Structure 1
Amino acid sequence: MSRRSFPTWLLLVAFVVVPLLEIFVLIQVGQVIGAWWTILLLIADSILGTWLIRREGGRAWAALRSALNSGQMPAKELADGALILIGGTLMLSPGFVTDLLGIVLILPLTRPLARRALTGVVTRRLAGAGAAAYIPRTGPRNQQRPHPNPEGSVVEGEVVD
């Protein structure tokens, strides 16, 4: 089985292109509105981001607990939590480009688009890793479980403490 390597171009983008883009945008904004206003805008952006993360993170946590308490599979809630976590991490880095992407991941209006993209990426990764082999087969219940002696009889029962 060949292991898929992490794309090196993604590292180049993350550690070279994004910081250069952030510096360029900061310089451009600073030239238009001034250095002190740019700093104040970054501080206001951080305050807004902190408030959004707390609000949406609390909502996602409550939705996750509700889904778990009702016995439902919390796929949507887990995806929302992951997107809020990623968005919050992007909001921690100074700059307007990463803050904009972080806000897009955090806002409840734009998060469904990001959730759809995340679901597609995870589905492709799992399909590429051969996760389809782990999907339970249909048929009688005893045929799904391995037995020490496949031709022997299996007695169903409950464990009582």
Structure 2
Amino acid sequence: MRYLFILIIAIPAAEIGLLLFSGKTLGVWPTLLLIILTGVVGAYLAKREGLQTIRKARVQLQNGHIPGEALLDGICILVGGILLLLPGFITDIGGFFMLFPPTRRAIKFLMINSLRKKIQRGNIKIIK
């Protein structure tokens, strides 16, 4: 429940405050150009990384492997692309972290550890 509060209330409020500060400091037009630029760059990066991940998943499937890591990459790229399309600097930083492969590795590591803990606690059950 506390994460829902952060997602719905705190992050948009911080984004608005940061956008107002940026508009006052840099000016309205440079702030708007920065928002548009991060959206365009984010869409390009998401497309490039997404296509690369699809190719990697195809190769893994052709070799008879389950593309687990490619699926986690795909989830990170999807969320990162969505965050970059949202207006605001905080979501842009989060989106870039999810799109760049070095930082995405760290995020995937956290995702895997979180899933492992939930499986060990019995919150998630795997049926074979």
Instruction: Tell me what 1:98 maps to.
Output: 91
Give the partner amino acid of 1:39: L
Instruction: Tell me what 1:123 maps to.
Output: 116
Return the structure number with greater helix share: 2
Q: Secondary structure at the match of 1:94?
A: coil
Give the partner amino acid of 2:108: R
Taking a change above 3 Å as real, the CA distance of residues 11 and 63 of structure 1, as seen in their structure-2 partners, is same
Structure-1-length-normalised TM-score:
0.74
Residue 72 of structure 1, CA deviation: 1.2
Alignment of 1:36-55 (within 5 A): 36-55=29-48
Unaligned runs of 5+ in 1: 1-7, 136-161
Unaligned runs of 5+ in 2: none
| Residue 74 of structure 2, aligned match among 61, 81, 84 | 81
Give the percent of matched residue pairs that are identical in Structure 1 and Structure 2: 30
Instruction: Return the structure number with greater relative CO, CA threshold 8 A, min gap 6.
Output: 2
Instruction: Tell me what 1:27 maps to.
Output: 20
User: For the aligned residues, what is the CA RMSD?
Assistant: 1.6
| Cα distance in 2, alignment partners of residues 66 and 129 from structure 1 | 33
Instruction: Tell me what 1:62 maps to.
Output: 55
Determine whether 1:108 maps to 2:116: no
Residue 73 of structure 1, CA deviation: 2.1
Structure-2-length-normalised TM-score:
0.92
Query: Which structure has the greater CA radius of gyration?
Result: 1
Give the partner amino acid of 1:79: L
Report runs of 4+ in structure 1 exceeding 6 Å deviation.
none
